[in-house]
Structure 1
Amino acid sequence: MPARVPVVVTAVLCLAAGVTAVGTANPPAPGTEANGLTENESATLWSRDDDDYMSQTEYRRRYGESRTAMQQLANGTDITFTRPPATASTWTRNDFADLEAGGAGTSVAPRNATFESGVFIDDAHATVFAVQPSTRVHAAPNETTHYVAPNGTLRGFVDYRVRVPGRSPSGNRTTEWTLQQHEIESVRLLRDGEPLVTRDGTHTPALAYALDAHGEMTLTLEADIQVRLRAVRRGPNSTSVNTTVRTETLTVADSLTVDVYDPEATVYYADYPGGDTGVAVFQSQPWQGYTLTDDGSQRVRGVWRFYTARDTGWDRLVRRNGTAQEPITSDAIPVSVHAYPSRIGPRAEPVRDGPEILDTWQVTNATRAPRLGENINVDVVNGSYTASHGVAVRAGDVAPDTTRVAGIVRGVNASITEPDSGFERPLFRSNLTATVGNQTRSATTVRLRLRSAYSGAPIVLDDDAGPRPGVGPARTGYIAIAGERVETNASGVAIVTLDQPGIYTARYHPGSWVEQRSAYVDDTATVRWHPLTTVAGWFALLVALGWQLLPFVVALYAGRRLLAMLSPATRFSDQP
């Protein structure tokens, strides 16, 4: 495989495959293998490279060929995804086949490999190449969790070199060493130190696993390396003295901490009057979103978005032969899926005609924005954010059995469990009325009354009112009017004072139906108030107008008197 210049991509461009776009990248070197991907899929694969855009003209001049529109876009931006893409696994699986070990006298390893040495075995290592399907979740500045699917494949690289002693004279005798055999006897995958999978030895093991445990654990790749050398000791005149065979076995290992991603979601439903359905999904682990219909036409996405990036530790390998170390370009580069909290946040689709997001919840306090590393240019949040462990929506008429919860690891969906209090939440219509009460020239009181439209029972919002016989328990929620939030008392009544004339709309904001065994839908009421609607108001208006007009009346009277005094007719009529 020719040397590769990895392409970086990341962003906010919406594509048919659920791709979005933001950032920049280096163009791919001509001749780079597709590794099971189309040209456009390969273009969207990389993040973490320098964001240095090359024009189409310069690209044709340098490489003698043109790029597709997606390749050109990927050269100037980082590509992100709305769901975990399969491209990372496809690339890694096929590129892994290009990984080649050295010979008996040469060891090839990535720069971050951990080496072991024995008497005859030197520069030996076992290094994890990739675990897939998996997703690295960046939740906070110093918090990254590597989630792996319960069923997946761990790929690794094992290599070593054999140190064959040279001819060694000792007195009148000489010992000559020859290598008879060297091999990787076996490779193993351990879970928390216990063997999980064992296979025949190979330099490039691909170990399929099935994990029946949950939560954090340590996966370890182990390999047993064995060499056999023959030592011939000769006396004077090459007389053979004796022959011995020396065997050495060395175990090498590499471990990584993972979290097995096997989510369970709790789903609540509510039936709105009129036919709409309320759906709330709770999941303690990060999750991608959920669909409400079989065809996916109604769906909700959480806060997480995804990008793919190479493991930079495999960009270059080092070849060791005992006398020198030679850096070489790697022909195999693993690619991983990464999840990050997006500024777009939870979102319902379709945007206009899709579900309406009502509430979001998180299991901990607001989390700070993570740091994604150098040259990762995506729309990550720039402050505290809600991890959206729970999202409630109001949608059209949907069937409960069509809800599907998608995880942040490709191919892993959450199993749905029924809450202890049951799936269903009944919703009732509420009846909010507003009437004008006592009025003065400067203010009026408005009496808000909130009752159940079905039973007529008062809806109590004031926690201090407490339960009342025949009324029911107090519940969350409030009534908003004129910029104020008020709560009803045990009689379902709240009094508000207004000091500005106008038309006011009061709206009942019920508490989340998820948190109550029975809940209500919102309702509105409109009230109008103006001082002129009262006798005192009219009197105050007339008095105010009188005081306003008094200077004009005085001026008019004075003007008329002055004109009369200065009139010629008046002056001459006064003469004898």
Structure 2
Amino acid sequence: MSTTAILVGGVTAQTGLTGNPDNSSAIPEYGPAYGVENSTFQILWSEDVDDGNLSVDDFEGANVSSDGEFATRLAKSTDVSFEQPPDAVETWNDGDFEGFSPGGDDESVHPNGASLEDDEYIKDAYVEIYAVQPSTILHEDNGTTQYVAPDGDVLAISDYRVLLPEDDTSGSEQEEWSLTETSVDSIELKADGETISTDDGHQTTLSYQDLSGSVELTVEAEITATIKHVTLDCPDWVVVDRVCEGLWSEEVDHLERSKTVTASRDVVVSQLSESSGTRVEFEADDDRMGAVINANSTWSTIDVDGDVQARSNWWFYTAGKSGWHTMVTRTATESTRTESSMRPLQVHAYPDRERPNVPTQSIAGENSLLIEEAWGAEQSSPSLPANIDIDPAETYVDADSIALSSTTLEGEAFDEVTVQGIVQGQSQTVSLDEPQTVRETNLTLSVLESNSTRATVRAEVTENTTGNPVSTGQVVIGDQSTPVNASGMAVLEVSSSLSLVRGQYVPQEWWHTDRPYASAEDRTKLPPNFPEFRTLVQLALVTLLWFVPLAAAVFGFDYLTRGTFLGLTDRQ
């Protein structure tokens, strides 16, 4: 045990403190409560100390008597992630918030992390934000951001104590002090300085609606005290006997004092109202459907058809807020600490190592939903608090758009989708009314000219149904590629050693354009490469000139040998 000297209201008090107040149990001993089941309650407190020595045997049926016992052991061994912000956080906070008991007029009860302020008579005054809900703290490589829904609540508590001067009841001039009235007269919620909700009392729930953008939420509490100050004066004071032989004159003053304290949170409103999307049909495949969804915000899942959904790489954990493990009661002479009866929970989001995926089951052996691509800004890994036993992704793509396709879902599955946000209970249904069609195309290759080394090939790309030129995408032949022009043409040079030229039209991905096309292929033969007539004549002359001397030499040798060499001459 350590002994600490604390100056309270001008009086030094010696208070015994045992250890660090925030080293107490991370999991409240008075839980589960407020309708949160034990199996859920145990895994909500990720800041607890984990024991990695538990074995698989500790979780087997013979050693685990209930779901709550299993959750207790799981919570002791690691921290648990959630696919969605759990409803249990708000359920717990609503019930737990009611447990606040403020002090009397001469004592202030506050969480250990509260920022206290003093005035002439009003001491240890504060207001603290217990929770902003629903909300999620997003962890990114550049820090954290608290996201809130456009509509929500701020739960706040406030307390203080009043320190009066001591009465002076000796001498011809005497003073008496008493507290007539005191209260937390008003608590206001302000958004960027503008009052949007008002209440009073030591604890209050302040609501807000239709917030947008980045907002500073400020809770401002005005504490008032009315103090009665009586001054007595005796003109006939007997010093020896210390008594007044005459009448006391009395002067009464009522002092009105107030103290304003504030607490603020910087938040960003998570907006899903700007989410949009496009349904995509495929001209060549009536069974295939697609959709491009632009959430334009951080999202958790996209629900397509019943249980069929795509989920992002954002996962969630919950943890208690620091500074609330211990409650401190301060008076003019002492300060005492107890285990807190208020333990607010907060939802956190982090990027998981798993990429965006489809967790639903396949249909008839085929994936019910396929993620073609999810794109956005590439980010580095965030740093989570040291006491959180979760490993985030080292690098990840913060995907705000995604392309989906399916060959197994019913035709109306992509008529609308529901985007679920990262803030509990926040979602937006997006209608995909006007479909785009991925049109079939034709690729036609023709040889413009050819020589012994190179051939010039023209590629023409047109729409299959209309014959109109296709002006996007590129044509690929071998290791060469050239974009098509406004007339749907592309010209490429290839080696004339090829007898057959194969080409492919590669369109822009259908999820990155508002006029999508399908790929197409074609092939053509290069013409035979016959020599020109002049070249043939020159070749014949060269051959003749080369063979005439040889023939003469052979004939002459045969002549000299009297025909014995080749038998071409007969010399008797």
Do these two structures clear the TM 0.5 threshold for a shared fold by scoring above it?
Answer: yes
Match in the other structure for 1:313:
323
Closer, same or farther: CA 133–267 of 1 in aligned 2, 3 Å: same
1:523-562 pair list within 5 angstroms: none
1:355 aligns to 2:364 (yes or no)? no
Q: Select the residue among 273, 277, 283 that pairs with 2:295.
A: 283
Matched residues in 1 for 2:163 and 2:350: separation?
47
Cα 1:291–1:499 shift into 2, 3 Å: farther
Q: Distance in 1 between matches of 2:406 and 2:340?
A: 51
Partner of 2:220: 222
Task: Return the alpha-carbon distance in structure 2 between the equivalents of residues 444 and 331 of structure 1.
Answer: 85
CA shift, 1:448, in A, is: 7.7
Q: Which secondary structure state, in structure 2, belongs to the residue aligned with residue 347 of structure 1?
A: coil
For structure 2, list consecutive stretches of 5 or more residues without a partner in the other structure. 1-20, 238-242, 526-572
Q: Which residue of 1 aligns with 2:166?
A: 166
- The amino acid that maps onto 1:262 is Q
Counterpart of 2:214, as a letter, is E
Q: Secondary structure at the match of 2:98?
A: helix
Q: Structure 2 vs 1, CA of residues 321 and 426 (structure 1 numbering), >3 Å: closer, same or farther? A: same
Q: What is the Cα deviation at residue 244 of structure 1?
A: 3.1
Equivalent position amino acid for 1:323 in 2: T
Give how far 1:479 is off: 5.9
**Are 1:39 and 2:38 matched, yes or no?**
yes
Q: CA deviation at 1:334?
A: 1.0
Partner of 1:209: 208
Alignment-derived partner of residue 250 in structure 1: 259
- Partners of 1:44 and 1:79 within 8 A in 2: yes
User: What pairs up with 1:91-130 in 2 under 5 angstroms?
Assistant: 91-130=92-131
Match of 1:314, SS state, is coil
What TM-score results when the alignment is normalised by the length of structure 1? 0.72
How many residue pairs end up in the alignment?
A: 480
Aligned to 2:517: 520
How far did 1:379 drift?
A: 4.2
Q: Pairwise mapping of residues 60-209 of structure 1 onto structure 2 (< 5 A)?
A: 67-142=68-143, 144-168=144-168, 171-199=171-199, 201-209=200-208
Residues 375 and 494 of structure 1: CA distance in aligned 2, closer, same or farther (over 3 Å): farther
C-alpha contact 1:37 1:87 (8 A) present in aligned 2:
yes
Summarize the Cα distance change of 1:233–1:387 in structure 2 as closer, same or farther, 3 Å threshold: same
Q: Is the 8 A contact 1:233 1:240 kept in 2?
A: no
**1:425–1:513: 8 Å Cα contact kept in structure 2?**
no
For 1:493 and 1:266, how far apart are their aligned partners in 2? Answer: 35
CA distance in 2, matches of 1:339, 1:504: 53
Deviations 1:453-509 (A, max 9, x none): 33455xxxxxxxxxxxxx24x31x4567777766557665676869999x9997654
- Hey, what's the Cα distance between the residues in 2 that align with 1:494 and 1:75? 68
Q: Deviations over 1:538-558 (max 9, x none)?
A: xxxxxxxxxxxxxxxxxxxxx
Per mean C-alpha deviation after superposition, the further-off stretch among 161-170 and 114-123 is 161-170
Secondary structure, in 3 states, of the residue corresponding to 2:368?
A: coil
Corresponding position of 1:537: none
Shift of 1:127: 0.8
CA distance in 1, matches of 2:177, 2:304: 71
Q: Report the residue type matching 1:301 in the other structure.
A: R
Report the equivalent of 2:539: none
Alignment-mate amino acid for residue 420 of structure 2: A
Select the residue among 384, 398, 414 that pairs with 2:428: 414
State the Cα deviation string for residues 176-195 of structure 1 (Å, max 9, x = none): 22223222222211122222
AA aligned to 2:231 is R
Conserved 8 A contact 2:140-2:350: yes
Distance 2:178 2:189 in 1: 33
Aligned with residue 389 of structure 2, among 377, 391, 396:
377
Residue 205 of structure 1 aligns to a residue whose secondary structure is strand
RMSD: 4.1
Separation of aligned partners in 2, 1:213 and 1:433: 57
Matched letter for residue 254 of structure 1? A
CA contact (8 A) 1:175 1:232 kept: yes
SS at match of 1:217: strand
- Cα distance in 1 for partners of 2:445, 2:33 equals 68
Question: How far apart in 1 are the matches of 2:49 and 2:504?
Answer: 53
Percent of residue pairs identical: 28
Aligned partner letter, 1:241: S
Larger radius of gyration: 2
Call closer, same or farther: CA 1:52–1:269 in 2, change over 3 Å: same
* Shift in CA distance, 30/102, structure 1 to aligned 2, threshold 3 Å: closer
Calculate the TM-score normalised by the size of structure 2.
0.72
Which deviates more, 329-338 or 509-518?
509-518
Alpha carbons of 1:401 and 1:322: their partners in 2 closer, same or farther (altered >3 Å)?
farther
Partner residue in 1 for 2:537: none
